[in-house]
Amino acid sequence: MSLDPTGPRESFPLRFAMPKGVNFNHSSNPDAPESSVSARIQLWSSITNGVLIASAITVILATSVVYIHQPWLKLTNAVHSIISANVTLGLLLVLSTISLLLGSVGLYTIRNRSTLILGLQIFALILLAMLEVGVLYGFLSHWLTNLTVGVTYAVQTFRPGSPGQDDIAAIQTGLHCCGRESYKDYYIANEEIPFGYVPFSCCNTQIHDTEACQNASLTTLKGRIGKAPNSYMVPDQLVVPKHMAFGGGCYSSLQEKILPYVLVLFAVLLTFNLLTTITNSVYLHLTSKFENQAIQLADDRFRTDPLQDSE
């Protein structure tokens, strides 16, 4: 049989199709070891992001309570003034809010497997950790440098009835303390306080009620005892006998109550920030690795059988 070269020709189109069963988000074999590893690290990343959110909410609540409760707010402002520091709790509130947002972003990206956004979140967490360390370093520097001098100066220069005496009065009232080391600091190092007396803010309201402190209070002028106060006089203008004073000094109270409180808040944020950064980084690395393996597998299968029909 002869072939007519001029006759009609039937075309046979080449069909190139990707091999079936290739998933770029998971291993092609769900029972493969890398699949279980990826699932476990994904779970751990979700947990750490959730814990980061919970820790941020805890810090936000802890700092918000200070701002809502007026005596604690006065105490906080007084401590900032004594150590010449910035508004540390305000910065802590901002940092915890950012942690809350980044934790939420982390949960969203892990759920939707968005590696680009997850990488940006990891970078933001690293920057946030650096900011937290910087704020903590600044606070501790002011605390260690200025606390002793600040409390000593506030006790020595306290003038009953003079403006600008709120700092040491707020600390003594809020922490239930008196003087730097004890109530004796006032009638030893302060000429404006009569011997045997202390400022009204030192009156131990845990033992004596406010009325008893008012009844025992007296006015003072240039280190001399005056008469009983009028009803309109503010407590900071008055003094009370030393036997009614708090026993402990304010320096030790600040070291034992305020410093641990601030350090714990920073430690909670920083610890879970770093833990989330590590788990998210491992998850991002493994996800990228498995996706590259899936792409390589698809490429190898395509090279082996390029004419495989997609159907």
Q: What is the pLDDT of residues 244-288, one digit of tens each?
A: 999 999 999 999 999 999 999 999 999 999 999 999 998 888 876
294, part of any domain: no
Residue 19's pLDDT band (boundaries 50, 70, 90)?
A: very low
Residue 30 has pLDDT above 50, yes or no: no
Q: Whole-model pTM?
A: 0.76
Q: What is the DSSP letter of 94?
A: H
More confidently predicted of 131 and 111: 131
296, part of any domain: no
Question: What is the domain count for the chain?
Answer: 1
299, part of any domain: no
Residue 153's pLDDT band (boundaries 50, 70, 90)?
A: very high
- Residue range of the domain that includes 125: 42-289
12, part of any domain: no
282, part of any domain: yes
Percent of the chain with pLDDT over 90: 46
Query: Maximum Cα–Cα distance for the chain, whole Å?
Result: 138
Most confident of 36-40, 92-96, 205-209: 92-96
Q: Which of 225, 21, 40, 38 is nearest to 115 (CA)?
A: 38
Instruction: Provide DSSP, 185-222.
Output: HHHHH-TTSPTTEEEGGGB-TTTS-HHHHHHH-EEEET
pLDDT of residue 20: 42
20, part of any domain: no
242, part of any domain: yes
Average model confidence (pLDDT) for the chain? Answer: 82
Residue 231's pLDDT band (boundaries 50, 70, 90)?
A: low
pLDDT of residue 127: 97
pLDDT of residue 17: 43
Most confident of 27-41, 269-283, 290-304: 269-283
24, part of any domain: no
Encoding tokens for residue 138? 């600044």
> What average pLDDT does range 199-207 have in this prediction?
91
CA–CA distance, 42 with 126 (Å, rounded to integer): 20
* 263 Cβ neighbours under 8 A, 6+ residues apart: 136
> What average pLDDT does range 225-234 have in this prediction?
68
Residue 15 CB neighbour total at 10 angstroms: 11
Q: What is the DSSP letter of 223?
A: T
pLDDT of residue 187: 81
pLDDT of residue 15: 42
pLDDT of residue 296: 64
